[in-house]
């Protein structure tokens, strides 16, 4: 058991490219920390530096209070689960899981006992004498987990361990990993590009963009109080809607209508960094919309009429897409997110598409005009100049 501390960690390659820039991150003992970000944001590089597979250019890495910059992976007492599992194809499952212990000259009886114990936890007992080639993807993934577990290391490092599984199995293994981590209470650093995985698994999440740490916090903190456009756009599915807006006294003028600023929001806005005099970018989560007919207390919200272009039924809820007559907001951060999602080259459309999540009780029909309600308490406001949130935390 140990805490991991990254202090001003920087990775610079020979050609001057900085993959990780001045990263500061504390992972508490027993904590499940997620490193998340789009591909190429430096999250894997950061993890590999912690593992010792990649040299640290600058800064200090401490595991359990000890500086380990110059230690080899074998002296760091960490276990890693690789994206493609990296199982030894010429060894049986038992040998794979016991390899580290065998290298450490653990007595055979103890190896057997530990491997059997891990196999029991992971439900691999009947596969112990098989080779990895004869296992399914999910079983291989569990063997990779088992290899990490048997060593009882001071930290687990996981590099997108679920990305090679199909969707259903991924959800199942996600719960499994969460269960194992809670049971073993081992400090875990987990890399993923999937924000759903990040939200569901992590005690805390660190969002990286182009090697720079954007925000660290509990899942709900990142969801409700994103510090900038990038975090706001990255966390949440469907993603947050962004609309151009103006603040005019007590009112935010949105393309869907005027929204009176609720008191709580006003207080946060006043305590915020200021700015946004030439217009702001408003962020509206799909969850904060509702079919006006279903809302009893319209309170601080605002209602507006719109035509639903596309209606997706998810069973438990609807995703309603409608178009707002407004220029699409442009910001560096949002551009990057669009590129990551591959939506930059979608056919151009008039106005901005907005998605709302509606209760399944709604009577909404595709192509119909409907009255929607938006909860202004959860409005997000960003400075278009630097992408930072205008709201204090």
Partner 1 sequence: MSLRTRQRTGWSMAFVVVIVVSLVPVFWLLMLSLKTPESATDGSFIPHHWTLHNYRDIFNQSVFTSALRNSIGIGLISTALAVLLASSAAYAIARLNFPGKQTILAVALMVTLFPQVSLVGPLYNLWRQVGLFNTWPGLIIPYLTFALPLAIFVLSTFFREIPWELEQAAQIDGATPFQAFTKVIAPLAAPGLATTFIIVFLICWNDFVFAISLTATNAAETVPAAIAQFPGVSQFTQPIGDIAAAAIVVTVPVMVLVLLFQRRIVAGLTAGAVKG
Q: Applying CB under 8 A, which part among 81-89, 199-207, 219-227, 352-360 lies near partner 1?
A: 81-89
Closer to partner 1 by Cβ: residue 91 or 184: 91
Q: Are 172 and 16 in contact (CB under 8 A)?
A: no
**108 near partner 1 (CB under 8 A):** no
Q: Applying CB under 8 A, which part among 3-11, 16-24, 69-77, 316-324 lies near partner 1?
A: 69-77
| Binding characters for partner 1, 41-60, by CB under 8 A (x = yes) | ----------xxx-------
**164 near partner 1 (CB under 8 A):** no
**64 near partner 1 (CB under 8 A):** no
CA torsion 351-355-360-364 (nearest 10°) is 0
Where are the extended beta strands (E) located within the chain? 4-12, 18-27, 32-36, 58-63, 66-67, 78-81, 155-159, 187-192, 204-209, 212-217, 241-248, 251-254, 257-260, 280-284, 289-291, 302-313, 317-324, 352-359, 369-374, 380-382
Q: Applying CB under 8 A, which part among 1-9, 87-95, 166-174, 341-349 lies near partner 1?
A: 87-95
- How far apart are the C-alpha atoms of 208 and 47, rounded to whole Å? 12
DSSP assignment letter at 297: -
Of 60, 66, 70, 88, the one binding partner 1 (CB under 8 A) is: 88
**16 near partner 1 (CB under 8 A):** no
Closer to partner 1 by Cβ: residue 147 or 170: 147
- How far apart are the C-alpha atoms of 347 and 133, rounded to whole Å? 44
**73 near partner 1 (CB under 8 A):** yes
**173 near partner 1 (CB under 8 A):** no
Closest CA to 326 of 275, 280, 380: 280
Of 94, 147, 170, 227, the one binding partner 1 (CB under 8 A) is: 147
The DSSP bridge pattern shows strands 280-284 and 380-382 to be antiparallel
For binding to partner 1 (CB under 8 A), which residues are involved? 51-53, 72-74, 78-80, 82, 84, 86-90, 99-100, 103-104, 147, 151
């Amino acid at each position: 058991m140990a805490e991991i501390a990254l202090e001003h960690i920087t990775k610079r390659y020979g050609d001057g490219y900085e993959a990780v820039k001045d990263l500061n991150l504390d992972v508490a003992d027993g904590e499940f920390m997620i490193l998340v970000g789009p591909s190429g944001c430096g999250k894997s590089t950061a993890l590999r530096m912690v593992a010792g597979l990649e040299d640290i250019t600058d800064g200090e890495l401490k595991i359990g209070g000890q500086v380990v910059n110059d230690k080899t992976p074998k002296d760091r007492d960490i276990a890693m689960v690789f994206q493609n599992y990296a199982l030894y194809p010429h060894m049986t499952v038992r040998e794979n899981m016991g390899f580290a212990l065998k290298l450490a000259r653990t007595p055979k009886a103890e190896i057997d006992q530990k491997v059997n114990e891990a196999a029991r936890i992971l439900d691999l007992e009947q596969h112990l004498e098989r080779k990895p080639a004869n296992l399914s993807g999910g079983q291989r993934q569990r063997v990779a987990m088992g290899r990490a577990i048997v060593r009882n290391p001071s930290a687990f490092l996981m590099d997108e361990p679920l990305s090679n599984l199909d969707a259903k199995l991924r959800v199942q293994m996600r719960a499994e990993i969460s269960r194992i981590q809670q049971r073993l209470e081992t400090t875990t650093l987990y890399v993923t590009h999937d924000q759903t995985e990040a939200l569901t698994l992590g005690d805390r999440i660190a969002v990286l963009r182009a090697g720079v740490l954007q925000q660290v916090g509990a899942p709900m903190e990142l969801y409700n109080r994103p510090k900038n456009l990038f975090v706001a756009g990255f966390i949440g599915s469907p993603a947050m809607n962004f609309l151009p807006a103006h603040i005019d006294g007590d009112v935010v003028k949105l393309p869907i209508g005027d929204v009176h600023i609720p008191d709580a929001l006003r207080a946060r806005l006043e305590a915020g960094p200021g700015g946004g005099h030439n217009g702001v970018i408003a962020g509206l989560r799909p969850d904060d919309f509702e079919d006006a007919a279903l809302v009893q207390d319209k309170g601080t919200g605002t209602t507006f009429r719109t035509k639903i272009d596309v209606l997706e039924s998810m069973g438990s809820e609807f995703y309603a897409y409608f178009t707002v007559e407004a220029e699409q907001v442009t910001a560096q951060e949002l551009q990057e997110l669009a590129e990551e999602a591959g939506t930059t080259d979608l056919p151009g459309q008039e106005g901005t598409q907005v998605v709302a999540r509606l209760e399944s009780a709604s009577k909404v029909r595709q192509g119909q005009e409907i009255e929607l309600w938006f909860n202004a308490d959860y409005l997000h406001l960003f400075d278009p100049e630097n992408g930072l949130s205008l709201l204090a935390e």
